[in-house]
Structure 1
Amino acid sequence: MIDVGAESAAPGAGTAEKALSFISRGWREVRDSAGADLRLMRARASSFKSLADREFENLLSSSAAVLSTPPRPSPPEVEFVKRIQPKLSEIRRAYSSPEFSRRVLEKWSPKATIRIDLSAIRNAIVSEVDEVGAVLDVGKVKGQSWRMVRWKGVEEEEQGREWEPIRILKTGLKELERKSQSTSNELVEKLKSSLGSFVKEPQESKEVPPLDLPELLAYFVKQSGPFFNQLGIRQDICDKIVEALCSRRKDQFMYHSLPAKDTSLPGNENSDELDLRIASVLESTGHHYEGGFWTDLVKHETTDQKRHVAIVTTASLPWMTGTAVNPLFRAAYLAKSAKQDVTLVVPWLCKSDQELVYPNNLSFCSPEEQEAYIRNWLEERIGFKADFKISFYPGKFSKERRSIVPAGDTTQFIPSKEADIAILEEPEHLNWYHHGKRWTDKFNYVVGVVHTNYLEYIKREKNGAIQAFFVKHINNWVTRAYCHKVLRLSGATQELPKSVICNVHGVNPKFLKVGEKIAAEREQGHQAFSKGAYFLGKMVWAKGYRELIDLLAKHKNDLEGFNLDVYGNGEDSREVQSAARKLDLNLNFFKGRDHADDSLHGYKVFINPSVSDVLCTATAEALAMGKFVICADHPSNDFFRAFPNCLTYKTSEDFVAKVKEAMANEPQPLTPEQRYNLSWEAATQRFMEYSELDKVLNKQESTSVNADNLKISKSISMPTLSSAVDGGLAFAHYCLTGNEILRLSTGAIPGTRNYSKQHCMDLHLLPPQVQNPVYGW
């Protein structure tokens, strides 16, 4: 820095005077520019104040005009403006006073001391006096303050630039003025529209009206249908009550729930309309059902494109029973579509139980060995490689009930990541003594398939009527608590909650090939059937042997010369054969064999007098091979009536007539449609349709559209009385089956609440105490 003082070197006196003159001129220009800017600021501030005053006056005048309407009460917005009007007037007076303007000018006027950067001037002066070696120090003299200004360039550029604080302030004022105009206009428009909405006649509300009493009563009756059914009130009566209650409000809630342009609902039933009405009200309130006291909401969510289906059954090969064979075919044909992953879950028996159940002294040392046997048996019959998994759960054989009972919680042997859809073959059997996780809590969808008419078997036992009464209600209890849908193979089974009747079983493809072969031989003129009549079935009295012996004994003379070959093994084989010998009946007994055995192809007539079956698999197999079938006029045979080779009888005399008719004629060949109806492809299609599994797999939920074009679910987002009752039943069943004394008193096998030590060794399981520890002891 260079000091400029009163004392200066003589040779540079002229140059210093020029420099000081230049500085004085520059400062005067800066001061004039600042003064002009301040005058401009004052003018714009006055303009802004005048604009604000006009806007507030317009606002108050428009509000006063609206408030002048006598019948309407003052809106909240106008009351707010009236309350702040005195404050606005006070602010306007304060800002328009000369004292406020003076304070603003004092705030922004140049201060007495401003630091000015004179480095550029110093360089110019040094360059001029450099010839004479004079050096001037331009700086600060004691007792005297100098203003420091930043030199930005040449004089022309200095004149063209504004002072930086002034430029920022001017820009801010312009932006503030623009925003204030737009904001004030928006405020006025919003206030006017609000006031207009209060003044106008109220428009029709778009909100969904609340439920009224008839609708609540109708929904209560609809959800209480299963309970009323238990009291003996038929479902059609409940439907009529719901229809009567809905008819009073139907027009109103349809008008409110749907747009004005569309007053029709996607369904003709009042039940669907009521569901949509309830769903729309719940959606309008933002309600979402989070589950009840009994409900576990931890459900499986698929992370890939495929769904998972677990088929759980009560028997396994080599035990040739319907609950072992039919679920195996179902798993194979469900997996054939490759749309879902399938797991077949079958019971594993210890070596001691295998000796009691499996024929021909077959036994397996490991689950892997039995799985290989099952797969080989299946692939020999279906002709393709079935891609599904086989899993095992611990089971024990009951000699008294002649069936396998699960040991422990069956649900724990299905991994949670695969717990998506469950198919329970014989759901009542699987859950009689089930003490574990609720199926409908672990799985997203549970379908039960009823195979056996247990009531018919129990009625044949001692005190059968009393036992059948309790078993009937227990079956209702467990199927309702643990299933979403129940399929009954025929009307021979008891009525169950959530059930429909449909034959979802097919026949082994090998039998259809045998039928095609026999039809081809007959077309060529060869004799297809060289033998007469036969009967095949497990040799126990309940499988039709009692009815067969009674019919033949009663009409022994009418059927003179008629011989019947009987194939079967079972617990009652000695008694059956002894009874036939005492009555001197023309029955020839043979050991049991596979129905597809070549030795059985030559028979022309299959006789099945059983009325305890739900749907006899042997009957379907005989029809598939092109034979005559003589069976009782019974609900278990309703599916077979459509086939011309099925001859049904109602009386014993009618039985004799059907036998003579069949022995005197030749059966008709099956048409392609009839063969398809007997196949597993058709059975799988019927299963997908009647169980609604096709909708579940395709994620097709029943929805409708409300006024805002939003989908409304009819059932998912709302709690139901039925689901709450189902949960309570499941909880009560869990508590009762946890008591060992109650289990034993109702016929459970001792020690089946948990699996045994031998099961742990065979299936490589942790002990039950480790798998399900009980804390707090």
Structure 2
Amino acid sequence: MVVNDASSSNAFSFISKGWREVRDSADADLQLIKDRANSFKNLATSFDREIENFFNSASSFSVPAIGSGSSPPAEIEFVKKLQPKISEIRRVYSSPDFSKTVLEKWKPRTRIRIDLSAIKNAIVSEVEDGDRVIDGDGVRKWNRVRFREFWGESRGENEIEDVHVNRDWEPIQALKTRLREFEKRSSSAEMFEGFKNGDFVEKVKSSLRSICKDPEDSKEVAPLDVPELLASLVRQSGSFLDQIGIRTDVCDKIVENLCNKRKNQLLWGTSTGETSVIENVNVNDELDARIASVLESTGHCYDGGFWTGQGKHIPSDGKRHVAIVTTASLPWMTGTAVNPLFRAAYLAQSAKQSVTLLVPWLSMSDQELVYPNHLTFSSPEEQETYIRKWLEERVGFKPDFKISFYPGKFSKERRSIIPAGDTSQFVPSKDADIAILEEPEHLNWYHHGRRWTDKFNHVVGVVHTNYLEYIKREKNGALQAFLVKHINNWVIRAYCHKVLRLSAATQDLPKSVICNVHGVNPKFLKIGEKVDEDRKLGNIAFSKGAYFLGKMVWAKGYRELIDLLAKHKHDLHGFNLDVFGNGEDAHEVQSAAKKLELNVNFLRGRDHADDSLHGYKVFINPSVSDVLCTATAEALAMGKFVVCADHPSNDFFRSFPNCLTYKSSEDFVAKVKEALENEPRPLTPEERYNLSWEAATQRFLEYSDLNKVLNSDKELESNNTDGKAIRKSISTPSLTEVVDGGLAFAHYCLTGNELLRLCTGAIPGTRDYDGQHCKDLHLQPPQVENPIYTW
């Protein structure tokens, strides 16, 4: 339970204030009683003294004799008759025990319905502390007011009271009436109106229950101790520690051990049931709540740290805006060109959001190097028409989303497209709501512009490529991989809120979860359905053997394939493999296979859905550099066998019965023979759905937290209704956010230096787009967009 210190403090303040008011009122009434009692005493003393003076004057008064039989004056006779009565009054009412005797026999005529014992005790305590009298011997004694003596002992309704006692003297009767009024006022609902309010009472009860059972801790929130401070420091420094090589799991264990020390101290003297409840609480949540309660008790309110974004766009048209930014575009048939295109199409089917797809625009010279079959475009509009036509032929509907272009340049060394200029500026501020960065590390290696998390409300990164595996194959690969690993961590922390890794084959990035959020082209699922129909009709579905399809570069699995075939040439006697692909390493791959005399037929690359590939029964994919091979998913969708390595990139496909994984080269031979000798099993409806883009889109919405964002009317509103997350976000400063902001600022400064960019492998002139991009995309020159003011 989370401690609501603000409510408990307000409750105790209200109780203390009401208590003081009651005590002050009681003090005033007791003082009035004392004043009236003193006035009665003074009146009796004064009256007694006047009587004595009268008797003395009467005894010394001499009247001239009129005659021997003359009588005393009538006034003296009247006084002599009155003297016995006055003596009786003086004897009774001037007695020291008069007040005690009379008050003991008083009977209250109303019953107190509210238990005011605490208030009475407080009043008695105040009287005991403040009232002292000096007796006749000069000794100080306590003059205590006791309610039992004051009101008299309670009697039953049938008890008979002394008639003479009930005959009160009129001033005493008035005093008793005054005291009854005070009693009624002190027990009235007006004084405790706040306590009778149900909401207030519930808040007070909740606050009191949430206070620690230790009496000392219940008074105020205990400050953070040393283990808690160290745990918080270690946890908040996780990003920095990870950058210097200390793994996240090590930091988590340190935090858990430190928190357990504090927990063990709190559990001393508790019961077994209470211990189990505390142990079930998440350590991080418990520490967050503890820090938040201490900060709130001090009145601190955290409004944000350094380098935090301000003025983010909040949609006013009732729809959220999603911008998908990717690093490649059709007709380049690569995963980062195809998969983001399908993601945009299926996300746009929902009326909750509008979608914009940002793809790179290449100049004519770069298009000739990248796009196959010498296909080029003279304008972005022409390329957009080609993209939409290709997509509509495969999804079977007309997607409603916008396609925009940003400047890009092709790097021959890296064999990839690098953004030129600030990519984020090509999303208008009014549409800057949600960003999906396909290959976020690639997009931000040389990003010199506004921070994505400052401009957008929610930024999701989707990791497609295992760059570390590719880099390790190059010269000085181990050193380069070490540097790239930490640079990837750097840019991910600086520019993303959430990261999705398609498989565990990628590096362990911060803020990331593993989930396959890619589906297959609906056309492949239709091909698989047609194969099942042919089987039911008795037709031969597969008339060919095994094949491999992929871009012809060594990193795509060609090295592993040639090694396996060369090692088991005799075990696979008579086995022929057709290979489809084009690429920079095509000549070397073919030369190596020819030199080893392998039974491999090399054919030009083609679309996996081409009719010429439908008759193959077995797809072989020995690659261990893929993150999630799209061709493997497409082969399974078409009802084929897939023989692949036992590798994290293939974890998603293990549940399919037609997926045969091997752990060794000997196992590879066994799986290939098993596939060639048997027929694939038809896919079940559930397996077919899991391969579809509908299922992939649902997984993407769930794991990227977009379900919460898109279904919320407020910016990034959490579904957590217990108030804990809101309270932590307001009260608890996050060192991680400060570190991430500092990393973004440092990255911005470093990427602004052209010399540092060139030293790290950037394409010259990519900090800003060039004149050709301005002409093709109708852009203002960079010096106009970002002027530099000098003297």
TM-score, shorter chain, exceeding 0.5: yes
The answer for the alignment partner of 1:615 in structure 2 is 628
Counterpart of 1:768 (choices 751, 760, 782) is 782
State whether residues 253 and 277 of structure 1, in contact with CA within 8 Å, keep that contact through their aligned partners in structure 2.
Answer: no
State whether residues 240 and 739 of structure 2, in contact with CA within 8 Å, keep that contact through their aligned partners in structure 1.
Answer: no
Distance verdict in 2 for CA 1:205–1:545, change over 3 Å: closer
Matches within 5 A, 1:219-368: 219-230=232-243, 233-246=246-259, 268-283=281-296, 287-368=300-381
Aligned-residue offset at 1:225: 2.9
CA distance in structure 2 between the partners assigned to 1:72 and 1:398 by the alignment? 91
The answer for the alignment partner of 1:508 in structure 2 is 521
Counterpart of 2:127 (choices 69, 77, 89) is 69
Return the letter of the residue paired with 2:729: S
The answer for the alignment partner of 1:577 in structure 2 is 590
The answer for the alignment partner of 2:422 in structure 1 is 409
CA distance in structure 2 between the partners assigned to 1:674 and 1:486 by the alignment? 26
Aligned-residue offset at 1:662: 1.0
Q: Could you tell me the TM-score, scaled by structure 2's length?
A: 0.70
Aligned-residue offset at 1:715: 3.1
Distance verdict in 2 for CA 1:740–1:232, change over 3 Å: closer
The answer for the alignment partner of 2:100 in structure 1 is none
The answer for the alignment partner of 1:647 in structure 2 is 660
CA distance in structure 1 between the partners assigned to 2:589 and 2:191 by the alignment? 97
Q: Could you tell me the TM-score, scaled by structure 1's length?
A: 0.71
Choose 224-233 or 343-352, whichever is displaced more.
224-233
Aligned-residue offset at 1:267: 7.7
Matches within 5 A, 1:200-219: 211-219=224-232
Matches within 5 A, 1:570-609: 570-609=583-622
Write the deviation string for residues 13-53 of structure 1: whole angstroms up to 9, x where unpaired: xxxxxxxxxxxxxxxxxxxxxxxxxxxxxxxxxxxxxxxxx
State whether residues 267 and 273 of structure 1, in contact with CA within 8 Å, keep that contact through their aligned partners in structure 2.
Answer: no
The answer for the alignment partner of 1:108 in structure 2 is none
Aligned-residue offset at 1:582: 2.0
Distance verdict in 2 for CA 1:641–1:229, change over 3 Å: same
Secondary structure of the structure 2 residue equivalent to 1:642: coil
Aligned-residue offset at 1:488: 0.9
Identity in percent: 76
Distance verdict in 2 for CA 1:376–1:207, change over 3 Å: farther
CA distance in structure 1 between the partners assigned to 2:372 and 2:679 by the alignment? 35
State whether residues 239 and 739 of structure 2, in contact with CA within 8 Å, keep that contact through their aligned partners in structure 1.
Answer: no
- For structure 1, the residue ranges without an aligned partner over 5 or more in a row are 1-53, 74-184, 194-201, 255-262
Secondary structure of the structure 2 residue equivalent to 1:336: coil
Write the deviation string for residues 167-225 of structure 1: whole angstroms up to 9, x where unpaired: xxxxxxxxxxxxxxxxxx99xx99999xxxxxxxx999787665454443332233223
The answer for the alignment partner of 1:748 in structure 2 is 762
Is structure 2 residue 475 aligned with structure 1 residue 458? no
Choose 293-302 or 643-652, whichever is displaced more.
293-302
Aligned-residue offset at 1:630: 0.9
Counterpart of 2:772 (choices 742, 758, 762) is 758
The answer for the alignment partner of 1:626 in structure 2 is 639
The answer for the alignment partner of 1:156 in structure 2 is none
Counterpart of 2:458 (choices 445, 451, 460) is 445
The answer for the alignment partner of 2:732 in structure 1 is 718
Count of matched residue positions in the alignment of Structure 1 and Structure 2: 597
Return the letter of the residue paired with 2:743: L
Aligned-residue offset at 1:394: 0.4
Distance verdict in 2 for CA 1:235–1:361, change over 3 Å: closer
CA RMSD of aligned residues (A): 3.4
The answer for the alignment partner of 1:481 in structure 2 is 494
Aligned-residue offset at 1:296: 2.3
Secondary structure of the structure 2 residue equivalent to 1:532: strand
Aligned-residue offset at 1:448: 0.8
CA distance in structure 2 between the partners assigned to 1:266 and 1:775 by the alignment? 61
Aligned-residue offset at 1:770: 0.6
Counterpart of 1:667 (choices 680, 684, 698) is 680
Distance verdict in 2 for CA 1:278–1:204, change over 3 Å: closer
CA distance in structure 2 between the partners assigned to 1:591 and 1:679 by the alignment? 28
CA distance in structure 2 between the partners assigned to 1:311 and 1:523 by the alignment? 42
Matches within 5 A, 1:159-178: none
Distance verdict in 2 for CA 1:541–1:297, change over 3 Å: same
Secondary structure of the structure 2 residue equivalent to 1:69: helix
Write the deviation string for residues 442-501 of structure 1: whole angstroms up to 9, x where unpaired: 111111111111111111111111111111111111111111111111111111111111
Distance verdict in 2 for CA 1:60–1:386, change over 3 Å: farther
Choose 423-432 or 689-698, whichever is displaced more.
689-698
Write the deviation string for residues 561-609 of structure 1: whole angstroms up to 9, x where unpaired: 2111111111111222222222222111111111011111111011111
CA distance in structure 2 between the partners assigned to 1:715 and 1:267 by the alignment? 23
Matches within 5 A, 1:94-243: 211-230=224-243, 233-243=246-256
Aligned-residue offset at 1:703: 3.9
Secondary structure of the structure 1 residue equivalent to 2:348: helix
Distance verdict in 2 for CA 1:301–1:278, change over 3 Å: farther
Counterpart of 2:399 (choices 386, 397, 402) is 386
The answer for the alignment partner of 2:718 in structure 1 is 701
State whether residues 266 and 704 of structure 1, in contact with CA within 8 Å, keep that contact through their aligned partners in structure 2.
Answer: no
Aligned-residue offset at 1:266: 13
Counterpart of 1:542 (choices 547, 555, 563) is 555
CA distance in structure 1 between the partners assigned to 2:27 and 2:698 by the alignment? 76
State whether residues 708 and 719 of structure 2, in contact with CA within 8 Å, keep that contact through their aligned partners in structure 1.
Answer: no
Aligned-residue offset at 1:250: 5.9
CA distance in structure 2 between the partners assigned to 1:57 and 1:424 by the alignment? 74
CA distance in structure 1 between the partners assigned to 2:461 and 2:28 by the alignment? 78
Aligned-residue offset at 1:230: 4.5
Write the deviation string for residues 683-729 of structure 1: whole angstroms up to 9, x where unpaired: 111111211221222235164547xxx98443355321111111111
- For structure 2, the residue ranges without an aligned partner over 5 or more in a row are 1-24, 36-122, 132-184, 194-214, 268-275
Aligned-residue offset at 1:659: 1.3
State whether residues 380 and 777 of structure 2, in contact with CA within 8 Å, keep that contact through their aligned partners in structure 1.
Answer: yes
State whether residues 349 and 396 of structure 1, in contact with CA within 8 Å, keep that contact through their aligned partners in structure 2.
Answer: yes
State whether residues 311 and 423 of structure 1, in contact with CA within 8 Å, keep that contact through their aligned partners in structure 2.
Answer: yes
Distance verdict in 2 for CA 1:628–1:206, change over 3 Å: same
CA distance in structure 1 between the partners assigned to 2:266 and 2:718 by the alignment? 23
CA distance in structure 1 between the partners assigned to 2:617 and 2:504 by the alignment? 28
The answer for the alignment partner of 2:167 in structure 1 is none
Aligned-residue offset at 1:279: 3.5
Secondary structure of the structure 2 residue equivalent to 1:714: helix
CA distance in structure 1 between the partners assigned to 2:566 and 2:227 by the alignment? 64
CA distance in structure 2 between the partners assigned to 1:716 and 1:324 by the alignment? 41
Distance verdict in 2 for CA 1:191–1:354, change over 3 Å: same
CA distance in structure 2 between the partners assigned to 1:596 and 1:624 by the alignment? 11
